[in-house]
């Protein structure tokens, strides 16, 4: 397993999204909106649910579950990075704030 830094993940995610934007402009004359990106994330998150059920033996799906589940989990992280970038939210700060707040709640 390769260990990449969070900052590297953000940088690579933004670069990949720009390549997708180029394809969107080429094939559809305009980039997806933030709302369309959010819908794509939700679609992939739903697939994570089905794939998880399949991996746990509670749902039958065609094909190999684990490679697709791993891909969709990574894609969901990617989408969260992209959504935060497009809405001018520092995802690293958001994660740190969430973790700190949640730790305080649970330790109280």
Confidence (pLDDT) at 1: 67
* CA dist 48 → 1, 58, 66, 73, 91 (Å): 21, 13, 11, 7, 21
CATH of region 6-107: 1.10.287
- Give residue limits of the domains in the chain: 6-107
Per-residue pLDDT of the chain (108 residues; tens, 9 = 90+): 689 999 999 999 999 999 999 999 999 999 999 999 999 999 999 999 999 999 999 999 888 999 999 999 999 999 999 999 999 999 999 999 999 999 999 998
| pTM metric for this prediction | 0.92
């Amino acid at each position: 397993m390769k260990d990449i830094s969070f900052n590297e993940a953000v940088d690579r995610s933004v670069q990949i999204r720009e390549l997708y934007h180029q394809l969107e402009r080429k094939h559809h004359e305009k980039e997806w909106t933030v709302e369309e990106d959010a819908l794509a994330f939700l679609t992939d998150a739903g697939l994570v649910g089905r794939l998880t059920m399949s991996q746990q033996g509670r749902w039958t799906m065609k094909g190999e579950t684990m490679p697709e589940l791993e891909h969709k989990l990574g894609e969901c992280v990617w989408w969260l990075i992209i959504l935060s970038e497009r809405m001018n939210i520092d995802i690293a700060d958001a994660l740190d704030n969430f973790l700190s707040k949640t730790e305080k709640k649970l330790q109280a």
